[in-house]
């Protein structure tokens, strides 16, 4: 089964990180490591690989969730030689997943912000991954001499603290 470059990268990351952290790799970890791909493309690819039987999810919505490779996924990765672009059918599948996930996340976030519901672990993980990615960009800009980067750094650090506080309540 030929893998796209993103599928290959995501499967490889899950396999390598799972060796370090038994019990599954968090979505935000994979999203943060899958550069230069967007978080939504990476998350969509995780779900596509799961639907193809190459990955599985451990835990539940109430407990720690993580991605683990299946035996088949490890075998496919070992055999994967040629990596090609994302086929049109898979690209549509990823886009459909992203659209549906975007709607679901917007509903969850609205409920959470209105105080009517708690934020899901998955959404919290995605927010943390995005915060980490933006923080890394702001740090690079600051190191490159961008005089205004300190504002982004301060805001992202404060946002990170808030995410940690919300994570403690979840």
What is the DSSP track for 40-74? HHHHHHHHHHHHTTSEEEES-TTS--EEEE-HHHH
C-alpha span between 12 and 86 (Å, rounded):
16
| CATH number for region 3-104 | 1.10.10.10
Q: What does the pLDDT read at residue 85?
A: 47
Provide the token pair at 27. 């979505």
Q: What does the pLDDT read at residue 83?
A: 43
Contact 17, 30 (CB under 8 A): yes
Q: For the whole model, what pTM was predicted?
A: 0.49
Q: What does the pLDDT read at residue 129?
A: 85
Q: What does the pLDDT read at residue 53?
A: 92
How many Å from the N-terminal Cα to the C-terminal Cα in the chain?
Answer: 39
C-alpha span between 38 and 46 (Å, rounded):
12
Domain boundaries, the chain: 3-104, 116-169
DSSP state of 37: S
Contact 49, 57 (CB under 8 A): no
Q: What does the pLDDT read at residue 93?
A: 64
Residue ranges of the chain with per-residue pLDDT less than 70: 1, 21, 59-65, 81-119, 168-170
Phi, psi of 80 (to 5 degrees): -65, 110
Q: What does the pLDDT read at residue 151?
A: 81
């Amino acid at each position: 089964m030929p893998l796209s470059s993103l599928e290959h990268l995501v499967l490889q990351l899950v396999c390598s990180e799972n060796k370090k952290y038994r019990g599954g790799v968090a979505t935000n970890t994979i999203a943060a490591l899958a550069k230069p791909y967007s978080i939504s493309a990476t998350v969509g690819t995780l779900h596509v690989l799961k639907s193809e039987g190459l990955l599985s999810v451990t835990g539940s919505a109430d407990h720690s969730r993580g991605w683990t490779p299946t035996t088949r996924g490890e075998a496919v990765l070992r055999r994967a030689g040629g990596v090609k672009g994302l086929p049109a059918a898979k690209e549509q599948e990823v886009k459909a997943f992203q659209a549906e996930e975007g709607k679901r996340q917007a509903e969850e976030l609205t409920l959470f912000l209105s105080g009517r519901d708690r934020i899901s672990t998955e959404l919290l993980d995605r927010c943390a991954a995005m915060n980490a990615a933006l923080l890394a960009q702001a740090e690079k800009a600051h190191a490159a001499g961008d005089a205004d980067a300190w504002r982004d750094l301060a805001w992202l650090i404060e946002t990170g603290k808030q995410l940690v506080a919300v994570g403690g309540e979840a």
